[in-house]
Structure 1
């Protein structure tokens, strides 16, 4: 559809963004019979493409046509300025088309204040039981496979059987259980078709990996009720005192206005608040920002990557995302996070890519000519690490108002944010690192990094939902407090980051938002 055609229709709902949140919301709305227009900055892409999200490619046009965000991030972390290409997608499926392989449920204390583990914010405005049916629906639509976490107090999920793993990995799980650990098969969004390519870190050409494209937008389009407008930039949200009145978009250099009854913002935790802040013609503070919390509360996770060697009588073969553990999800009431196999071979190429990313985000990143020197320690590390398996611990982040998304003064297309590592997070990190070593004391392990490593693929929290309009942007239904027809369906709504990958919760909430809007439209 062209913008000229789109602007002649009054849509039930316009969804901004076609990632995990936008795709799943569009599917739910379209399957309920509503007319849905999905506006996506990037391209639809091709069914058979399989490229990775290349953080070294720098040409904006080349990046955009491949589904990468075209501009580098401008970040100030602990008062140090950095400019680098973050793992952010720009196209149908968004970042989820490249990643989103692991979709794990949070635990009850992630959302609620419990007797054993108090919640740092008092709890989300919507509790675990209210989310449960949407977790179940999202797991079914995304074909999640895996096994039940033996430490969970919740009823087992109805998951598909996990794919077969190697004898070495089976032995690893058996040995971990004998050592008193509680591994389970990681919850993965793969249909496990014959000849599955296990598309970790790149697009899937076979509709086997389930993401915002394959499980969200494409089924929405198949209903005939949803239409995609690709390569279209939303530059401003127009609004009056009560509601959004339209969107200003630019397509092929021409400006248009699009209209709907309801609007769903799903441009990502860095993109959604930026668009609201840019929409400042009516209010200098930006759209839906009476609380001054738009863009604030930015969270990531801290990654603790470590190598784990097999015991002498074992062999770890292949690189699969086979194992998750929650043995140190909390430690003495402190919030930590889960541990999972990363799905990477300990090879020169993977180590070199990892070191290059660290280099780009260091003070030396301004000297790109020296970047190739990271190949030397990569060669040494590949030889030393040998047959180790790579795991990652995901340490929960918490919201602070000073950690926030900004609008870049020179180029509004550039994702920009400031972030400082709080002392309590650094303290929890030290506990987490010690506990990783203690948990795997029967194995030889090596923590792979000394400095804290933010997971830039997991931004969240910048349009938090809550009960109090003075300290949150959204209400319990993810509708903005200020405007009656504007909802949010990406990770921006998180009040806390939880100790798991965010994708399943994004998908579940997007389905919930779809139901809220459908109910409103059908009862008018």
Structure 2
């Protein structure tokens, strides 16, 4: 038996933000993480190990909607998926919090507005040490202050492309990035931020920016190797009283008056469903029947612009983004989405996606390519579900939406790149096994008949349960979600701190 005042399940962005926010409260906080700390080792920056051998990916097998098995792109480490993210730290735009009509349906309004999150966006940017420059992107929302660090300068080739885009009347801007790349910083500009763990700790990930600072407080404990199997309620089924945890092969019961579930959009939904009881046959926090539904994952494509006569020597490419097509322009324009730079694609990355491609061809392509990411909004669909299987696995059915819109964004991006001088542009969409910002499976809303959580991420069915990770998203927008999860985590953390005596 283990007791705490607050149990936080998961050490990703949401759990990390809650831990850091509550660390000074004096409450006994126990963070349960199913994985371990990711080791710093030569394989951290080895594309062969990361992409071909899949050294860090969880060895799980799920089923897709047709019942076919696949290995999901899940990573279980302290810091969650931020150990592999590309450091992008965008604020959602004001209109992202409002209902928006798309060709395939409505992107629903959030129960909060941008103004509710703005001070916490600013706090999160300070914590993560975000680089950026305000005032260049016409879709940018109002800010209460400047970025903590100046924008990372473009390297020569990227700077040339930015100037060309501006020359066409577009508005390229410096991508907001959480990396320690400034005078006195620890970044060595190795060029392997995107999709790789940082070998020198310079990436602004959750482990370094949220979990480790929280652990400086004597009342905060991190227990790794601890997979939560079920949440248990009292006899009336109203309050969460304990978690069943498998820790190093031993079953533990962890009791607390307050539980924060932050296992990620997939595993939070699965855990709530696996915790079904006589009072809650569809799972906990699920009187609305929304848990495990409305799964979203951005429609995302990689584009390789090839320059046969130019070797791309850029080390840190992720400095450029474009939102001119995000909302469109004019009354009838279609909201297409967002464009940003990818990290440099290496030959093993190409081979992992196209195993039959000769090594020499992959090396030639990646030597002369400049790599981009096109991202469109995926809409919440009630038939997009994640469901637990009896064998402990899961079945993910993704009812994809807005794919025609995404196709138009990709076509627009290809035409744009050709106008910049790329004679050949290749594209490839990301599939089900790529976690392109999973969200929406335990959504928040103002109506408990339609949503599992209230605007503070508190479960309508259980007053001492909060769910704080990307599962709370009512819509996905078309921007990287990490900063929004962190901002809401800080907002909810402040709320919980003020309410601690009530739990």
TM-superposed deviation, 1:348? 2.8
Matched with 1:350 is 349
Matched with 2:223 is 229
TM-score (norm 1): 0.85
Distance 2:385 2:101 in 1: 31
Distance 2:385 2:122 in 1: 32
- Alignment partner of 1:397 is 2:397: no
Shift in alpha-carbon separation, 1:250–1:348, aligned structure 2, 3 A: closer
Measured against aligned partners, the alpha-carbon deviations of 1:36-71 in whole angstroms (never above 9, x if no partner) come to 10011111344667626835547xxxx6xx5x4231
Alignment check: 8 A CA contact 2:102 2:335 kept = no
Matched with 1:364 is none
1:120 match: secondary structure: strand
- Alignment partner of 1:262 is 2:254: no
Q: Which of residues 273, 295, 298 in structure 2 aligns to 1:298?
A: 295
Shift in alpha-carbon separation, 1:280–1:446, aligned structure 2, 3 A: farther
Q: Which of residues 450, 459, 472 in structure 1 aligns to 2:451?
A: 472
Identify the range of structure 1 (240-249 vs 127-136) with the bigger mean alpha-carbon deviation.
240-249
Trace 1:15-26 onto structure 2 (pairs within 5 A). Answer: 15-26=8-19
Matched with 1:87 is 73
Alignment check: 8 A CA contact 1:238 1:246 kept = yes
Trace 1:119-198 onto structure 2 (pairs within 5 A). Answer: 120-148=106-134, 149-156=136-143, 158-159=146-147, 160-192=149-181, 193-194=185-186, 195-198=188-191
Shift in alpha-carbon separation, 1:384–1:28, aligned structure 2, 3 A: closer
1:177 match: secondary structure: helix
1:470 match: secondary structure: coil
Q: Which of residues 261, 267, 271 in structure 2 aligns to 1:271?
A: 267
Measured against aligned partners, the alpha-carbon deviations of 1:462-490 in whole angstroms (never above 9, x if no partner) come to 00100111111111110011000100111
Matched with 2:485 is 506
Alignment check: 8 A CA contact 2:417 2:425 kept = no
TM-score (norm 2): 0.88
Matched with 2:89 is 103
- Alignment partner of 1:287 is 2:273: no
Number of residues paired by the alignment? 483
Trace 1:303-318 onto structure 2 (pairs within 5 A). Answer: 303-309=300-306, 316-318=312-314
- Residue segments in structure 1 that go unaligned for 5+ positions in a row: 357-373
Measured against aligned partners, the alpha-carbon deviations of 1:64-86 in whole angstroms (never above 9, x if no partner) come to xx5x423133222xx3x443333
Alignment check: 8 A CA contact 1:40 1:92 kept = yes
Alignment check: 8 A CA contact 1:246 1:259 kept = yes
Across the aligned residues of Structure 1 and Structure 2, the Cα RMSD in angstroms comes to 2.8
- Alignment partner of 1:434 is 2:422: no
TM-superposed deviation, 1:386? 5.1
Alignment check: 8 A CA contact 2:35 2:225 kept = yes
TM-superposed deviation, 1:433? 2.4
Shift in alpha-carbon separation, 1:501–1:385, aligned structure 2, 3 A: same
Q: Which of residues 493, 496, 505 in structure 1 aligns to 2:472?
A: 493
- Residue segments in structure 2 that go unaligned for 5+ positions in a row: none
2:419 match: secondary structure: coil
Alignment check: 8 A CA contact 1:87 1:457 kept = no
